[in-house]
């Protein structure tokens, strides 16, 4: 019932118009989304950089419907890279392959992704390919494998610990030398492809995390779970893994207290900074895919406020 209601609201233009025009709603949303423009996102990046935190800019939006829209998305991503370089920001970018035309056709997506990576290589920066639902997992990894040889220092990808296949995928990427961002996963997936129980997702995350910390190429450990973060810190200490061989990653506006604490302790931290006009439907769809995220986000806001 809750999922259906959230999906319904995400598709209502009148609700979107109200939320975008309501000062209170926009103030609440601004905690988790860095505005609608690249200028507002850059301002958020500067603030985070000043706190010793690196970032990854993420223009919200998913599947496009025409080759022109896919090309425009690639153009905007290139503008993001150029802005980062011009203003000497400590940031990279994240993109979804469906933004670059994967649903239109693989050749379109490959051409746009290659064009983006060529610019990243020229600027000496990095592009992370976000992972979408499980129907895109193999296509995403296959494309990353195809392009990795030409852009090894400039291309990375995301692995979701709740998928059963992720053990094999992590080994595949370690062998390739590709940088991996490990997260739990937020899409609504069937039990046939993903662990339905949180305990199993957490156990998978811990197992894959330790494998990446020990043998991976500068992995990103993307979690706000203090138990998993403590486990990672203990693991690298026991194995003598240097802190410059990995980074923790978190979401914009979530557990800012924990973000600052990790930086004070000398760990590297990257925050994902989403922005763009599609923030309302994006957030509603993410909540619909996993309604437990509502309690998670609210709980983190309350916890942070209490600690302050």
Answer yes or no: do 94 and 139 share one domain.
yes
Answer yes or no: do 140 and 94 share one domain.
yes
Give the per-residue pLDDT at 279: 73
Considering the candidates 181, 231, 255, 270, report the single residue annotated as catalytic: 181
CATH number of the domain where residue 107 is located: 3.20.20.220
Percent of the chain exceeding pLDDT 90 equals: 72
Answer yes or no: do 1 and 129 share one domain.
no
Total-model pTM = 0.88
48-94 per-position pLDDT tens digit? 999 999 999 999 887 889 999 999 999 999 999 999 999 999 999 99
d(CA 121, CA 182): 23
Classify burial at 111, counting beta carbons within 10 Å of its beta carbon; exposed 0-12, middle 13-18, buried 19 or more.
middle
Answer yes or no: do 7 and 54 share one domain.
no
pLDDT of 199 over the 60 cut: yes
Answer yes or no: do 2 and 80 share one domain.
no
Answer yes or no: do 96 and 232 share one domain.
yes
250-286 per-position pLDDT tens digit? 999 888 999 999 999 999 999 999 998 777 666 665 5
Answer yes or no: do 289 and 183 share one domain.
no
Answer yes or no: do 188 and 300 share one domain.
no
Considering the candidates 83, 119, 128, 130, report the single residue annotated as catalytic: 130
Answer yes or no: do 106 and 53 share one domain.
yes
Answer yes or no: do 4 and 104 share one domain.
no
Is residue 130 part of the annotated active site? The answer reads yes
Domain count for the chain: 2
Question: Whole domain around residue 97: which residue ranges?
Answer: 31-277
Higher pLDDT residue, 199 or 8?
Answer: 199
Burial 230-250 (b: 16+ CB within 10 A, else e): ebbbeebeeeeeeeeebbbbb
Give the per-residue pLDDT at 7: 47
Residues constituting the chain:
308
Mean pLDDT of the chain: 88
pLDDT of 6 over the 60 cut: no
Answer yes or no: do 37 and 48 share one domain.
yes
Q: Which two tokens stand for residue 3?
A: 């999922």
Task: List, in sequence order, every residue forming a beta bridge with 128; answer none if it has no partner.
Answer: 94, 156
Name which of 264, 182, 266, 268 is nearest 225 in CA terms.
182
Answer yes or no: do 155 and 25 share one domain.
no
133-191 per-position pLDDT tens digit? 999 999 999 999 999 999 999 999 999 999 999 999 999 999 999 999 999 988 878 99
């Amino acid at each position: 019932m809750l999922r259906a209601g959230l999906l319904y609201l995400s598709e209502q233009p009148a609700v979107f118009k109200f939320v975008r025009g309501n000062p209170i709603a926009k103030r609440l949303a601004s905690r988790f989304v860095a505005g609608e423009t690249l200028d507002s996102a850059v301002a958020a990046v500067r603030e985070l950089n000043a706190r010793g935190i690196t970032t990854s800019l993420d223009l919200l939006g998913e599947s496009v419907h025409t080759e022109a829209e896919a090309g425009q998305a690639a153009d905007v991503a290139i503008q993001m890279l150029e802005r980062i370089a011009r203003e000497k920001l400590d940031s990279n970018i994240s993109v979804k392959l469906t933004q670059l035309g994967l649903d239109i056709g693989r050749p379109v997506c490959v051409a746009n992704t290659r064009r983006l990576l060529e610019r990243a290589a020229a600027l000496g920066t990095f592009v992370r390919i976000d992972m979408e639902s499980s129907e895109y997992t193999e296509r995403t990894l296959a494309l990353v494998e195809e392009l990795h040889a030409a852009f090894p220092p400039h291309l990375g990808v995301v692995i979701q610990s709740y998928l059963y296949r992720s053990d094999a995928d992590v080994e595949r990427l370690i062998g390739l030398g590709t940088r991996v961002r490990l997260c739990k996963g937020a899409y609504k997936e069937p039990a046939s492809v993903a662990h339905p129980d949180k305990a199993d997702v957490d156990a998978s995350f811990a197992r894959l995390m330790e494998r990446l910390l020990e043998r991976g190429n500068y992995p990103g450990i993307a979690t706000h779970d203090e138990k998993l973060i403590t486990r990672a810190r203990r693991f690298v200490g026991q194995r003598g893994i240097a802190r410059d061989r990995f980074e923790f990653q978190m979401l914009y506006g979530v557990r800012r207290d924990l973000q600052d604490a990790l930086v004070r302790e000398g760990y590297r931290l990257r925050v994902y900074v989403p922005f763009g006009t599609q923030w309302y439907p994006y957030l509603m769809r993410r909540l619909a895919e996993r309604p437990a995220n509502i309690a998670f986000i609210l709980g983190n806001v309350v916890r942070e406020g209490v600690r302050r």
